[in-house]
């Protein structure tokens, strides 16, 4: 070795971990704020909040004294970003927003964060409609909820119809009735559409329904019992029997709700169970002293995390887009209880309490929710073990280098080429990932109707273009480890052509075709460059593939039916600029049908109540532009 080479100093190592973190301390003060820890490729590892940024970051600058998870995170940190806020509450809210947007690897992450349905008593009509509502509360009326699931809402609505006989039809259907519908015949509606009940009596039924949803059930039951007795005394036995049936339906609603606390009027019951590096959070919705259902969540956690950190992260993300109730009952105390209380109260515009009850009815509610969380996590862990075994079997059957964590399955649906749609479902270690399902309206005008090959090509092209845009480095977990295509050699060849064109020829892909008899259990599997093969009739992997294919078929068929139904029920007036639901009702009431509106002359259109001269001209021009 020459003297020159011996004298040459080694290349400088870029600072990492606590060394790089130490360098930021000189630029930080004691302000509250949010910090982000990034790796060498500027990917966000962790988002955190701090009452005092300098004090918080100095903890990470220490080389020792950290849990295994935090130590690993610090070692991967190559840079940091900071944002100061005016208050700690602002820091908490900003932290939760960033976590939901960036999904950092080392944060506790709520993976299933959806909106919850409500019951809406619409107040924009003389005869209010009662219906399920999800999303922004923009419609005029009274909202009751949230309910844990659409099923919980549907069950309650079903019983409320039996008790209070309120309509659930749309306004356009209501206006177009000339005789009662089937719901009146089966005693689920009082037929206000044809005047079988007065506006005053219907309003009284609406008021009783709202009292029930507010928890004031005793008065409603007493009123119905008095009406039943009066009808019986007047020898109106048919009416008395109807009152009796409504009382029974009301009792059935209350018994079906299970837990109906006497003391707790409005609360969310939030209980956590941690085991084996996994977590389950069970949430019960208590409103108006009634149990409106429960839902379980499985946030992403680490093996060395405690209950306080998981619950605090869950609360921040769960209530980010939801209005918190007056009380939130917790199974475990959280570290920043005062800060979380302040943030939730500010969001709700009223006082919100966080409680960890130790005795009484509230403690019993927590105990029941915790038991549900423990049992739900046990079932999920057992299902995950089975799912992992099946995925390993898929890898062995199709020659994959490792167990697939993301399988995408594609199918098309159409009727002789009309209303063609493509469907994609996704499965992984946790089962079906329904929030990842996608539907594709086939756009190709040049496609021959019924061209399944062409439809599959269009769907795959659009999917791969989006993947290349959203995850070009294939490091976000968005790319599939296996594509399953419903079809045989022809479909596989068409898909392989697309993969080659898009620059991903090595993406694993298998075509699933029914055998010669087109029976379950005789499927043939096609891979590019290999001969078709089959699995044993009793192979669990074969049953698993059948389930995946059937789910993709169900999803594609359902999407196609929804599209076809929407087309069938479409009204030409829906596309006319300036014509909303109110003016559409007025036009239909005046002319009788959309076809008659299209044929009407300008002077007749101007004669409709609520239609201005300019709007009448717009409607006339819309239907006569091409003539």
pLDDT value, residue 404: 94
Beta bridge partners, 109, equal 300
Give the pLDDT confidence of 348-375 residue by residue, as tens digits: 889 999 999 999 999 999 999 999 999 9
| Dihedral sign, Cα of residue 598, residue 600, residue 606, residue 610 | negative
**pLDDT on residue 577:** 81
CB 183 within 8 A of CB 189: yes
Per the CB < 8 A criterion, the answer to whether 55 and 35 are in contact is no
Q: What's the rounded Cα separation, in Å, for the pair 609 and 82?
A: 59
The CATH H-level (homologous superfamily) assignment of domain 581-625 is: 5' to 3' exonuclease, C-terminal subdomain (1.10.150.20)
- Residue 188: phi and psi, rounded to 5, are -115, -5
User: CATH number of 407-565: 3.40.50.300, 3.40.50.720, 3.30.420.340, 3.40.50.11540?
Assistant: 3.30.420.340
Residue 340 is predicted with a pLDDT of 92
In the block, residue with structure tokens 């999303």 = 135
Q: Provide the whole-model pTM.
A: 0.69
- Beta pairing class for 431-432 and 278-287: unpaired
C-alpha distances in Å from residue 59, one per residue of 42, 65, 277: 22, 9, 25
Give the pLDDT score at 531.
87
- The yes or no reply on domain 17-107 and CATH 3.50.50.60 is no
Q: Which secondary-structure segment (H or E) carries 202?
A: helix 199-213
What are 162's two structure tokens? Answer: 């039996």
Can you tell me the distance from the alpha carbon of 171 to that of 168, in angstroms, rounded to the nearest whole number? 9
Position 283 scores a pLDDT of 93
Kindly tell me the number of DSSP H helices and DSSP E strands found in the chain: 21, 18
Residues 429 and 384 sit within 8 Å (Cβ to Cβ): yes
Q: Which CATH superfamily is domain 267-379 in?
A: UvrC, RNAse H endonuclease domain (3.30.420.340)
For the chain, the maximum distance between any two Cα atoms, rounded to a whole number of angstroms, is 119
Segments in the chain below pLDDT 70? 1-16, 112-114, 217-221, 239, 242, 246, 249-260, 414-419, 444-451, 515-521, 560, 563-571, 625-627
Tell me if domain 267-379 and domain 407-565 are identical in fold. Answer: yes
Domains of the chain by residue range: 17-107, 117-256, 267-379, 407-565, 581-625
Sheet containing strand 141-144, edge to edge, reads: 130-133, 118-122, 141-144
d(CA 606, CA 437) in angstroms, rounded, equals 47
């Amino acid at each position: 070795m020459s003297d020159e080479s011996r004298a040459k100093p080694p290349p400088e190592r870029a600072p990492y971990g606590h060394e790089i973190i130490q360098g930021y301390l000189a630029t930080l003060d004691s302000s509250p704020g949010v910090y982000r820890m990034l790796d060498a490729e500027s990917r966000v590892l962790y988002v955190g909040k701090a009452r005092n940024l300098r004090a918080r970051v100095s903890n990470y600058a220490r080389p020792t004294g950290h849990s295994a998870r935090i130590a690993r995170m610090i070692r991967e940190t190559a840079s940091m970003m900071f944002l100061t806020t005016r208050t700690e509450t602002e820091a908490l809210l900003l932290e939760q927003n960033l976590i939901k947007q960036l999904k950092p690897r080392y944060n506790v992450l709520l993976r299933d964060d959806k909106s919850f349905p409500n019951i809406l008593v619409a107040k924009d009509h003389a005869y209010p409609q009662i219906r399920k509502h999800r999303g922004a509360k923009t419609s005029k009326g009274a909202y009751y909820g949230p309910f844990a699931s659409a099923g919980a809402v549907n069950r309650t609505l079903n019983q409320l119809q039996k008790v209070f006989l309120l309509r659930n039809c749309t306004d356009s259907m209501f206006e177009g009735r000339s005789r009662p519908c089937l719901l009146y015949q089966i005693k689920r509606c009082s037929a206000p559409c044809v005047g079988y009940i007065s506006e005053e009596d219907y309003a009284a039924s609406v008021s009783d329904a709202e009292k029930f949803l507010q928890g004031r059930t005793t008065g409603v039951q007493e009123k119905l019992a008095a009406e039943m007795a009066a009808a019986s005394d007047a020898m109106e036995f048919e009416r008395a029997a109807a009152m009796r049936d409504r009382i029974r339906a009301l009792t059935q609603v209350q018994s079906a709700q299970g837990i109906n606390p006497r003391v707790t009027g409005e609360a969310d019951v939030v209980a956590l169970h941690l085991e084996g590096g996994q977590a389950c959070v069970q949430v019960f919705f208590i409103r108006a002293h009634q149990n409106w259902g429960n839902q379980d969540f499985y946030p992403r956690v680490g093996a060395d995390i405690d209950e306080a950190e998981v619950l605090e992260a869950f609360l921040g993300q769960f209530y980010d887009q939801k209005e918190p109730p007056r009380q939130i009952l917790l199974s475990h105390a959280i570290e920043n209880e005062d800060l979380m209380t302040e943030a939730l109260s500010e969001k709700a515009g009223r006082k919100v309490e966080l409680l960890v009850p130790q005795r009484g009815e509230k403690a019993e509610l927590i105990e029941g929710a915790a038991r549900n969380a423990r049992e739900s996590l046990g079932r999920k862990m057992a299902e995950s073990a089975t799912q992992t075994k099946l995925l390993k079997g898929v890898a062995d059957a199709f020659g994959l280098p490792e167990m697939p964590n993301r399988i995408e399955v594609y199918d098309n649906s159409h009727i002789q080429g009309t209303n063609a749609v493509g469907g994609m479902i996704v499965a992984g270690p946790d089962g079906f990932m329904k929030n990842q399902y996608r539907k594709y309206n086939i756009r190709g005008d040049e496609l021959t109707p019924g061209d399944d090959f062409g439809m599959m090509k269009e769907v795959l092209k659009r999917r791969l273009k989006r993947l290349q845009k959203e995850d070009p480095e294939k490091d976000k977990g968005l790319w599939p480890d296996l594509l399953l295509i419903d079809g045989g050699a022809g479909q596989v060849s068409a898909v392989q052509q697309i993969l080659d064109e898009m620059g991903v020829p090595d993406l694993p892909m298998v075509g699933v075709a029914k055998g010669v008899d087109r029976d379950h259990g005789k499927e043939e599997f096609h891979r590019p460059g290999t001969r078709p093969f089959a699995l044993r009739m009793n192979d669990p992997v074969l049953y698993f593939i059948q389930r995946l294919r059937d789910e993709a078929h169900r999803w594609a068929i359902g999407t196609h039916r929804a599209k076809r139904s929407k087309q069938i029920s479409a009204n030409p007036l829906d596309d006319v600029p300036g014509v909303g639901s109110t003016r559409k009702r007025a036009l239909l009431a005046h002319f009788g049908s959309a076809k008659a509106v299209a044929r009407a002359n300008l002077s007749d259109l101007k004669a409709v109540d609520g239609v201005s001269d300019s709007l009448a001209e717009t409607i006339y021009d819309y239907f006569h532009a091409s003539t």
